[in-house]
Structure 1
Amino acid sequence: MKHFLLFICGVLLISCAQEKQNLNFLEVALSSNDPKIKRVMDSINSYEVQIIYTQINRRNDSISFTDYEFQVNDSSYFYPASTVKFPVAVLALEKLNLTDTLSLNTKYYIEGDTIESTIANDISKIFAVSDNLANNRLMEFLGFEAINQNLKEKGISPVRLSHRVGYRSDDLRTKPLIIYLNDSTTGITQSLLNKTPERLKLLNVEKGIGYYEGDELIEEAFDFSQKNYYPITTQHNLLKRVLFPQMFKEVERFNISEKQREHLLKAMHTTPQHIGYDPATYYDGYCKFFMYGDTKKNIPESIEIYNKVGFAYGTLTDCAYIKDTKNNIDFLLTATILVNKDGIFNDDAYEYDEIGIPFLAQLGREIYQQELNRK
């Protein structure tokens, strides 16, 4: 009887351990009593939160994903802001392989501009500090219609990029690139005329109770229907394909060389100070919202965060692959949150630092801690 009871106790302990191990980490994170999480969850209808967390499982040489979602809805619009720079960077690398006169380090500038750059530098700036001009140069190189078509052909949808970022521009024609072929000659790319974007027919595409145009307050909802559309399922899908191309069919992969992919991955996790930016202004967490967005401390060398953030019109989004090389864990996390308490857009009165970034930072830490304890 004694041995039988010990056996039963052992079975129960194993069952409890397995049950604990199989908990949905995202549910556990969102039920945290930490005030950075709780104040959002207690008023969840105010924040338009959407989250995808992917647990990565490895056995021998095989990899599998388990996705967990919270309030994910591709039909519910949020403004993606600078997250659109991620597909732009990847597609620019792919187009290099079709352009004989350009390489990663070929110097060029946009017609009518004086700033010289290279594709390599532009991609580094896009991920380190979310540089708008660097992104817009690559948009001129690609054209909106080509961006959308190429993504859809790879099964990365829904998506619609329709405008440059950082300033208002209704110009549908891209500007030519002036390329330095050598010390004495230059080449010019063609200008492309893009179609007028159709209005998005989505939920919540009109937001708030008012917005500013210059100094004038317009007391009606702000219309996002002709702006960029890049939901978190599409962002998460793109991140998987870049980080784990072997998990996808060849026609679904990006046609970039190993050298190009290495440059992309390095740019995605390199912090601003390591490419020459002042760390006082551009601290490590400046474009790394998960885990470190609410602190100005340096990110440990053992933590690598491959990501792209976006922040504009009160919306904060981060799409990240987080890897701890010391403890041998990794996971994918994408989330968006709207923090605009007064419902007015273009007034620069958004609760980024008070609510949005602390929520995303703590969400990352909650998931990370559970991954750390996972067997």
Structure 2
Amino acid sequence: MKLSINPTTKNIPGKKSPMVLVLLCLFFCGCASTPVSYDPLDQALASNDPRIRQVMDDPQPYDLQIRFTRIFREKDSVRFKDYDFQVDRNKYFYPASTVKFPIAVMALEKINAADKLSINTSFYVEGDTLETTFGQEVIKIFAVSDNDANNRLLEFLGQDAINNSFKSKNIGPARISHRLSVPDADEVTTRPLIVYLNDSTTASLAGSTNTPAAPLPLEGITKGSGYYENDSLIHDPFNFSLKNYYPIETQHGVLKRIIFPETFPENERFNLSSSQREFLLNAMKILPKEAGYNPVDYYDSYGKFLLFGDSKEEIPASIKIYNKVGYAYGTLTDCAYVHDEKNKIEFMVTATILVNSDGIFNDNNYEYDEIGIPFLDALGDELYKIEKNRKK
């Protein structure tokens, strides 16, 4: 249909000219047919909360990366929509204790494949003084982020087996090369485990010799302007190229496979029994006091940065956070599934932030409490409010 417009028509006070009417019609009709773009992560990061503004007014120094997943439930099915802020597998951040999550999962998977092992099997690492069980070590990892518990399970698995599991399940890029906070962290030969098959019978599980780590060719693999080594300040950037590598997309991929395994092909899932998965989920949401730790030293949010990290108050019983945090070298990371049973709110977030304003590593001078944890707490708060107000 051809529109005919008389260019000589004069404007009448209080009335629109035909040209204006046509333009208005075209404008509003066009708007009505074009869906409005809505990104909940952008909305959260635009918050006026000062804990967010002190980062987002100039995010460049913070190496910020965030993936937020909105969850849609439709009858018996689940689907996701991911929203990203600066997520880039090629930009390195130090994952710290977040690597304990897949190590715990893979240890359970290996136990599941062994005839005579269970989460209740007692064992000790050759040369170690502690006798424990696999289940106890998994609980320690999630309740208080115990480094020694992680290292014992790494001895059980070996670096190569861990890295091959990431590849075989198509989870995403990752490289676990070292233990945490021990002198021989990057030793490629793991120690044997002595396991108790019953009260009087033991067996030795041989250690493994693993592939030495190659330097990671990633952006930001060197950071800062200096670092301390043996109490001496070295005026060179700190080199992370031989460290663990566990980027946002891979962390999020592990989390999705544990919380919603049915949404993945069987060959991309972790091979856990239903009882093992239930045990793992309980461990992931456990609070330190529920695992027997002193609540004064290990308050509810000790390992829960999102929503509650900026407070030492009790976390409401209706809110469960299945997560693993990490913090070291000025980098804070939280990988979490948040579920409010009372209000029927659920979402997933994996976020990392670097807070090291002086650019010096190993000086224990990081802005965890001033900037990092308050930001992650506020981010969780904003996303929670957005999801609470979302029409389901």
**TM-score bin (small chain):** over 0.9
Asked whether 1:221 is paired with 2:237, we answer yes
Asked whether 1:88 is paired with 2:103, we answer yes
Q: Secondary structure at the match of 1:140?
A: helix
Asked whether 1:48 is paired with 2:56, we answer no
Displaced runs of 4+ in structure 1, greater than 4 A? none
Q: Secondary structure at the match of 2:60?
A: helix
**Structure-2 separation of matches of 1:60 and 1:182:** 46
Residue correspondence of structure 1 range 104-253 to structure 2 within 5 A = 104-169=119-184, 170-253=186-269
Asked whether 1:62 is paired with 2:77, we answer yes
1:235 deviation in Å?
0.3
**Structure-2 separation of matches of 1:100 and 1:219:** 53
Q: Secondary structure at the match of 1:290?
A: coil
**Structure-2 separation of matches of 1:171 and 1:373:** 50
Structure 2 counterpart of 1:188, which letter?
Answer: S
Q: How many residues align?
A: 360
**Structure-2 separation of matches of 1:341 and 1:190:** 45
**Structure-1 separation of matches of 2:382 and 2:347:** 12
Please report the TM-score for the alignment, with normalisation by the length of structure 2: 0.90
Deviations 1:6-65 (A, max 9, x none): xxxxxx9xx99x978x63111111001111000101121110000000000112222110
**Structure-2 separation of matches of 1:369 and 1:98:** 42
Structure 2 counterpart of 1:198, which letter?
Answer: A
**Structure-2 separation of matches of 1:183 and 1:56:** 47
1:167 deviation in Å?
2.5
* Among candidates 274, 282, 298, match of residue 266 of structure 1: 282
Partner of 2:12: none
1:164 deviation in Å?
0.4
Please report the TM-score for the alignment, with normalisation by the length of structure 1: 0.94
For structure 1, list consecutive stretches of 5 or more residues without a partner in the other structure. 1-11
**Structure-2 separation of matches of 1:196 and 1:107:** 30
* Among candidates 289, 292, 302, match of residue 305 of structure 2: 289
State, as a whole percentage, how many aligned pairs show the same letter.
Answer: 58
When the two chains are superposed, the root-mean-square deviation of aligned CA atoms in Å is 1.4
Deviations 1:189-224 (A, max 9, x none): 111111110100000000000000121000000000
State which structure, 1 or 2, has the greater radius of gyration over its C-alpha atoms: 2
**Structure-2 separation of matches of 1:166 and 1:234:** 23
Structure 2 counterpart of 1:252, which letter?
Answer: E
Asked whether 1:348 is paired with 2:364, we answer yes
Structure 1 counterpart of 2:65, which letter?
Answer: Q
**Structure-2 separation of matches of 1:166 and 1:73:** 27
**Structure-1 separation of matches of 2:104 and 2:318:** 26
* Among candidates 333, 336, 346, match of residue 330 of structure 1: 346
* Among candidates 93, 118, 137, match of residue 78 of structure 1: 93
**Structure-2 separation of matches of 1:160 and 1:268:** 22
Evaluate the alpha carbon distance shift between residue 19 and residue 283 of structure 1 in structure 2; reply closer, same or farther with a 3 A threshold.
farther
Q: Secondary structure at the match of 1:196?
A: coil
Partner of 1:6: none
**Structure-1 separation of matches of 2:211 and 2:237:** 26
